[in-house]
């Protein structure tokens, strides 16, 4: 430190013409608001808030975002470093910055991490890569002595207006690159530098798109569509589009898409499982005469980069994406649609833990936009927000729009219970007599069957008959699941797999490992035995590992090349299988075990989705649910079709227990490889827990799955009344803690997983 310890009075006195700005850096440092450093703007540059800039940080050069055009003054001006360069991009809007910062405040994830999600597209903010192409140069100057047939071919080809790389040109004209090179050096060809992506196909919406291939809306669809349309371009509004499966919700929101397209606005449509949406994409294309722009992690990085920049440039893109699409830098967004708003997969469980639906509502609010959330089985949160129970907060935050009937002749399936206590399948079998009977009749009538079982693989548990050893994962507290198709035993928590052997790991006996419990593969075995003629397919993330394979399998089912589909939740969602009339739910009780806060709600949603696959065309559908407790309220609601009564009951129970959305929850999870260290840290945190009258902090307890990937996990659960600022309480408790680097602390606001 020099003699002058007092910081420079920044600005006017010491360094007149020098601009100093605050740049947020993508570091995982948690504090309220963005974590930023001051940087000097080099002379001659003008920097404004929202610009993406390259800065030195320690020995590295990284990219950050300018969040204030005045210094914080934390560090003396003569100690500051200069910005290295500016991204060749428009600045992010204030509202986008404010969105990122509010996501960080809400989730309590460091701003730097939220920012990293936004900038995660590979090199999106760098200038596009360039390449050199060859075009026609001074060809007339070529002396006739130098005109070989090969050279002639090149010149003729380029004269048609082509320009391309030496390699491509050589291929097109049947010459070598050496020939091209020599011609260029002599000036007969001209070299041009272009950005590589100039060639990347990127469709802009067609002018006439909004009138493409229209369907005539039914009167009730029209009412809803016009009702919501009245809110377009009028600031923030939130809409719950609540309609039974097959009522035409998609058709209704396509109307809104068409309207916004006509105004050249950007649109964002969030879908829960983008890999399964081939049919949705085909339908979009049929309706609008163009493909939507897909955003998820397996889209090529060149395409994502281009889309990212198009969003920031305000081009009228229609983006369909998984939850991460919410962080794209749209600058001209007109509408957000969240389809299947109740889907748990909108919750991201690692890194920044956030719920994409809730953050989408936040973004719509910040950017003054309408947001439409579509579902056949609303989440309790949205249901309460739509003012639909006497217990709801008034006035309602969401507008509620209903479509009560399926389109055309099709009606909702009958749902019937099978009591497994009375009709118990024999040992090692999973299908009861009444279900088998119904399957025979269905197949006899030349229709399709779906058996729904939400368990991948062959069997969830293997035990050695000789010594009682259970096949376990070494890194997690979980059993290994037997997979016959891939001849392996797998851990569904960490992905560990070992070859399937029939020797016990513990006692070494051979042929003593027995499988317990059903998985879809085992069910397929039973079905093959009982219906040897039937064509059977398994639809799970193992058999439909990528979008192409999934699309082909779904097509085969739709085209009736399969008689019996055995599927996990992958088969339950969204698909339209016109010949499918019978759904059998093998283990309807599955989701009710474990006593999770949302167990009943999720079971209801999943089973009504699964049942909803039956009878989507002219033929009436029926669903059978096999259960050991057929009198459970969830099943009553399903079989009587009284969804609202169920939601009402569920709402009352949540309120009585002060559970969300009537109370607030958060979880704090500590994990580390050293069990003792995790425990000690948890105890230390516990000893410093703040005391509030109405805020309860439970724990620490070992997480239900106490070890995952070799890391021990302890959890706290915090419950507070609705009006309490939970984040503030957590931050008061946790911000001052010095957590050792071997221990990872996660905060989960409004947890969906309690594992």
Measured from the CB atom, the residue of 221 and 603 that comes closer to ligand ADP is: 221
Are the beta carbons of 105 and 727 closer than 8 angstroms? yes
**Alpha carbon distances (Å) from 733 to 668, 703, 718:** 11, 21, 12
Nearer to Zn ion, 332 or 506 (CB): 506
Residue 527: CB minimum distance to ligand ADP, A: 28
Residues lying near Zn ion in the complex (CB under 5 A): 473, 475-476, 491, 493-494, 496
Decide: 472 and 481 in contact? Cβ < 8 Å.
no
Of ligand ADP, Zn ion, none, which one sits near residue 672, judging by CB under 5 to 8 A according to partner kind? none
Q: How far is the CB of 381 from ligand ADP (least distance, A)?
A: 20
Stretch that binds ligand ADP, among 210-218, 230-238, 505-513, 694-702 (CB under 6 A): 210-218
According to DSSP, the residues that pair with 582 across neighbouring strands are: 449, 622
CB closer to Zn ion out of 458 and 479:
479
Q: Which stretch binds ligand ADP (CB under 6 A): 217-225, 419-427, 436-444, 530-538?
A: 217-225
245 binds, among ligand ADP, Zn ion, none (CB under 5 to 8 A by kind): ligand ADP
Q: Which does 476 bind (CB under 5 to 8 A by kind): ligand ADP, Zn ion, none?
A: Zn ion
Q: How far is the CB of 370 from Zn ion (least distance, A)?
A: 44
Dist. CA 340–CA 612, nearest whole Å: 14
Q: Which residues pair with 335 in a beta bridge?
A: 267
> Within 399-458, which residues bind ligand ADP (CB under 6 A)?
407
530 binds, among Zn ion, ligand ADP, none (CB under 5 to 8 A by kind): none
**Contacts of ligand ADP in 349-408 (CB under 6 A):** 407
Out of Zn ion, ligand ADP, none, which partner does residue 661 contact, by CB within 5 to 8 A per kind?
none
Which of 182, 154, 191, 193 lies closest to 170 in space, CA to CA? 154
User: Of 229 and 658, which CB lies nearer to ligand ADP in the complex structure?
Assistant: 229
Q: Per rule CB under 6 A, is residue 573 in the interface with ligand ADP? A: no
| Of 18, 98, 120, 218, the one binding ligand ADP by CB under 6 A | 218
The Cα 728–Cα 414 span in angstroms is: 49
Cα separation of the two ends of the chain = 51
Task: Single out the residue of 399, 576, 579, 709 in contact with ligand ADP (rule: CB under 6 A).
Answer: 576
Q: Which two tokens stand for residue 313?
A: 């440039």
**Residue 681 binding result from Zn ion, ligand ADP, none, given CB thresholds of 5 to 8 Å by partner type:** none
215 binds ligand ADP (CB under 6 A): yes
Sites for ligand ADP among residues 222-251 (CB under 6 A): 243, 245-251
Please identify, using beta-carbon distances, which residue of 112 and 248 lies nearer to ligand ADP.
248
| Closest by CA position to 355, among listed 8, 741, 666, 579 | 666
What is the spatial distance between Cα 83 and Cα 38, in angstroms, rounded to a whole number? 10
Residue 461 tokens read as 């548990």
Residue 467 makes CB contacts below 8 A (sequence gap 6+) with 504, 506, 507, 509, 512
User: 546 is written with which tokens?
Assistant: 């990528």
> Distances from the Cα of 727 to the Cαs of 670, 718, 750, in angstroms?
17, 11, 11
491 binds, among Zn ion, ligand ADP, none (CB under 5 to 8 A by kind): Zn ion
Q: DSSP readout, 161-230?
A: T--B-HHHHHHHHT--HHHHHHHHHTTSEEEEEEEGGGGS--PPPPGGGGGTTPPPPPHHHHHHHHHHHT
Q: Out of ligand ADP, Zn ion, none, which partner does residue 475 contact, by CB within 5 to 8 A per kind?
A: Zn ion
Q: From the list Zn ion, ligand ADP, none, which binds 460 (C-beta under 5 to 8 Å, kind-based)? A: none
Nearest distance, CB of residue 576 and ligand ADP, angstroms = 6
Minimum CB separation from Zn ion for residue 706, in Å? 12
Angle value at C-alpha 620, between 617 and 623, nearest 5 degrees: 110
Identity of the residue, 404 or 529, whose beta carbon is nearer to ligand ADP in the bound complex: 404
Distance CA 609, CA 591 (A): 14
Residues found near ligand ADP in the complex (CB under 6 A): 215-218, 221, 243, 245-251, 407, 576
């Amino acid at each position: 430190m020099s003699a002058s310890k007092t910081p420079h009075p920044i600005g006017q006195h010491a360094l007149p013409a020098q601009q100093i700005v605050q740049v947020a850096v993508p570091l995982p440092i948690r504090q309220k608001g963005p974590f930023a450093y001051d940087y000097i703007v080099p002379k001659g540059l003008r920097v404004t808030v929202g610009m993406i800039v390259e800065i030195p940080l320690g020995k590295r050069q990284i990219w950050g975002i300018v969040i204030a055009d005045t210094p914080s003054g934390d560090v003396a001006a003569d100690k500051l470093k200069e910005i290295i360069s500016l991204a060749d991009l428009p600045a992010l809007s204030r509202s986008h910055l404010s969105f990122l910062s509010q996501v960080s405040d809400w989730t309590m994830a460091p701003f730097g991490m939220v920012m990293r999600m936004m900038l995660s597209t590979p090199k999106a903010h760098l200038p596009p890569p360039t390449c050199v192409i060859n075009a026609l140069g001074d060809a007339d100057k070529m002396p006739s002595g130098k005109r070989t047939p090969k050279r002639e071919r090149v010149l003729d080809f380029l004269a048609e207006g082509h320009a391309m790389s030496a390699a491509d040109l050589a291929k097109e004209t049947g010459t070598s690159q050496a020939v091209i090179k020599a011609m260029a050096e002599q000036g007969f060809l001209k070299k041009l530098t272009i950005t590589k992506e100039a060639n990347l196909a990127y469709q802009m919406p067609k002018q006439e798109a909004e009138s493409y291939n229209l369907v005539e809306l039914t009167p009730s669809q029209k009412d809803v569509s016009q009702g919501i349309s009245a809110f377009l371009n009028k600031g923030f509004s939130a809409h719950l589009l609540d309609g039974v499966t097959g009522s035409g919700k998609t058709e209704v929101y396509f109307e809104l898409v068409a309207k916004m397209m006509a105004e050249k606005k950007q649109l964002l449509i969030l879908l829960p499982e983008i890999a399964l949406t081939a049919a949705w994409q085909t339908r979009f294309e049929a309706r609008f005469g163009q493909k939507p722009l897909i955003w998820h992690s397996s889209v090529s990085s060149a395409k994502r980069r281009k889309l990212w920049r198009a969003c920031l440039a305000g081009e009228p893109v229609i983006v369909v994406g998984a939850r991460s699409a919410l962080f794209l830098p749209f600058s001209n967004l007109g509408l957000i649609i969240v389809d299947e708003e109740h889907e748990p997969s909108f919750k991201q469980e690692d890194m920044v833990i956030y719920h994409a639906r809730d953050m989408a509502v936040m973004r719509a609010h910040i950017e003054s936009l309408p947001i439409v959330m579509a579902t056949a089985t609303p989440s309790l949160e949205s249901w309460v927000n739509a003012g639909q129970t006497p217990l709801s907060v008034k006035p309602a935050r969401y507008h509620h729009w209903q479509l009560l009937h399926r389109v055309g002749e099709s009606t909702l399936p009958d749902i019937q219970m099978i009591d497994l206590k009375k009709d118990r399948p024999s040992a090692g079998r999973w299908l009861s007599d009444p279900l088998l009977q119904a399957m025979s009749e269905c197949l006899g009538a030349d229709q399709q069957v779906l058996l729904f079982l939400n368990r991948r693989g062959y069997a969830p548990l293997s035990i050695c008959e000789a010594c009682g050893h259970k096949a376990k994962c070494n890194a997690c507290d979980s059993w290994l699941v037997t997979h016959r198709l891939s001849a392996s035993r797998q851990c569904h928590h960490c992905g560990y797999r070992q070859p399937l052997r029939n020797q016990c790991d513990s006692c070494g006996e051979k042929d003593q490992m027995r499988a317990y419990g059903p998985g879809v593969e085992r069910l397929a075995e039973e079905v093959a035995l009982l219906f040897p003629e039937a064509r059977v397919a398994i639809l799970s993330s193992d058999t439909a590992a990528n979008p192409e394979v999934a699309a082909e399998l779904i097509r085969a089912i739709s085209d009736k090349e399969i008689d019996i589909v055995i599927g996990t939740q992958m088969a339950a969602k969204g698909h339209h299988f016109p010949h499918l009339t019978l759904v059998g739910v093998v283990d309807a009780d599955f989701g009710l075990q474990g006593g999770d806060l949302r167990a009943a709600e999720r079971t209801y949603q999943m089973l009504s989705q699964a049942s909803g696959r039956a009878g989507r065309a002219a033929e009436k559908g029926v669903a059978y649910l096999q259960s050991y407790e057929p009198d459970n309220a969830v099943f009553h609601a399903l079989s009587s079709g009284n969804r609202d009564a169920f939601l009402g009951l569920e709402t009352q129970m949540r309120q009585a227990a002060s559970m969300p959305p009537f109370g607030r929850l958060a979880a704090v999870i500590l994990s580390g490889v050293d069990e003792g260290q995790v425990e000690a840290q948890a105890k230390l945190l516990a000893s410093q827990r703040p005391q509030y009258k109405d805020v309860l902090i439970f724990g620490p307890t070992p997480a239900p799955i106490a070890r995952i990937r070799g890391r021990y996990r302890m959890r706290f659960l915090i419950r507070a009344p609705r009006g309490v600022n939970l984040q503030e309480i957590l931050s008061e408790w946790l911000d001052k803690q010095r957590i050792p680097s071997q221990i990872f602390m996660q905060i989960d606001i409004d947890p969906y997983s309690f594992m």
